Structure 1
């Protein structure tokens, strides 16, 4: 049987359109009350109120009964009443539902409303129904939600940074920001394995702070603190993400240059040596300077195992110191070594 067939005798009469509209009106009135919407119905001919819900009456500071029979010009300032009347006339001329926004000051407070206007026939007269939705409250809620989301995002970013900081605490030297010796050694082993498998180059650099001047030595540990800070900045600024550098002790540092041959490593370290020599550090208004000696070795040109690379680098550093410091020495290339 067709579920949409005509009702049979005894099934009850179908509700009239008026009854359905009454039910719909009750539902809309309940929804408006729940959402805080203001609802007014005006006579299309003269703009006088025929109906006002509790929210609209509260907006005017009157009872709903006191609004009936009055128009906006009697309730509002002239400029605002004229603006609303113009919007009403536009909606009446439009025929279909028309939405617009109104922004104005009312009783010392800023008002922002979205108004849906609909002209229709009711009991033989043309009326205009208006439904007012508070945009300012909605936008305030949206702004609060946005602020809450931004605060949550900031907290998440802070948590990520905190986790990263905790994760790196065991990997970074606090004085220089460089890798710890243990972490550097791990990277060194990985670089050796990678270079042996893929037949690629890498360079190792040992550097040592040359003996300080008498003026610098007079400041003791404070002078080394400034030098360590400076060396940390210089090494971080002169190495790439794939490179590694660490502080071995108070005077010595090491740098691992991934995928770099002997000539390129020498050129880069010579530039770093010059930067160190031109650094000016100040303690209590006194200018201090420092220089470094460097030894550079590489795989596979000067050595073929990790131990050999380290030994070659130490030998080159000793040669640089014998020259009087402030110089870069290269390890000897081993021809024919296998």
Structure 2
């Protein structure tokens, strides 16, 4: 427990002080003593771990031997400032090392008279980074839950106003109604000489960097995507759930460029969406294929095939992508 080097032996400490140092080490708090030259005369194991040195090799060494110059200068200035401030001084401190930022709550105090081994300064550091990250995750989760509640409320209102045909699909039309919607939109567009777009959407496989999704996770993610689809479509559009991971959206009176812009916005929303299930944060991305009538295809089946080909292209590019169907060139 007591660090020592050939040049210096750790001072004998009062048993009650040693008990306190051991207790602080148990909760990960770094506690140390420095002499008037800011050299360590005692440090517990948490301090050694913080500084990244071998156990028992800290006594007699200074911060300049262990830390970057800029950080050493900051610590020296703060240690010197203790000479004009009576009692303990609390502060927050941030250390950036090896590409990682660590935040600490610190308490430092001048010892007058000097403590064991000529110790002139007592310091205690407690890392707050995990707590800060947990608080940030909790805030993000709460915001996402609030947004999800608003989406759910909108879905309930929409289902009530439109009847029960969409209630079972999370506010989306079932797959068997997609062909009917598509057929009516083709007839309407041909009569009124206007265009519309069809978008095929598919959940990408779970990211290799994120947690694996089981069946229940996948369904929770699909429900979240259904809410985003409902929130990004209008009353005259027809979002449908086609399968476990697949969806289709009919965008009435919308051309290819506008459809792409709206679906690109939806893709970005999906990539940043946080889905919470059983205390676990789930993330997801989607691939989309966009086709339009009559520019991409002039038949119902051709339009769906063009959107399917575009979806395959988006998936081939690695997912998390919106691909446009090609517009055939007619020399006439």
Q: With the length of structure 2 as denominator, give the TM-score of the two structures.
A: 0.49
Higher RCO, Cα 8 Å, sep 6+: 2
Mark the structure with the bigger radius of gyration. Answer: 1
TM-score by length of 1: 0.49
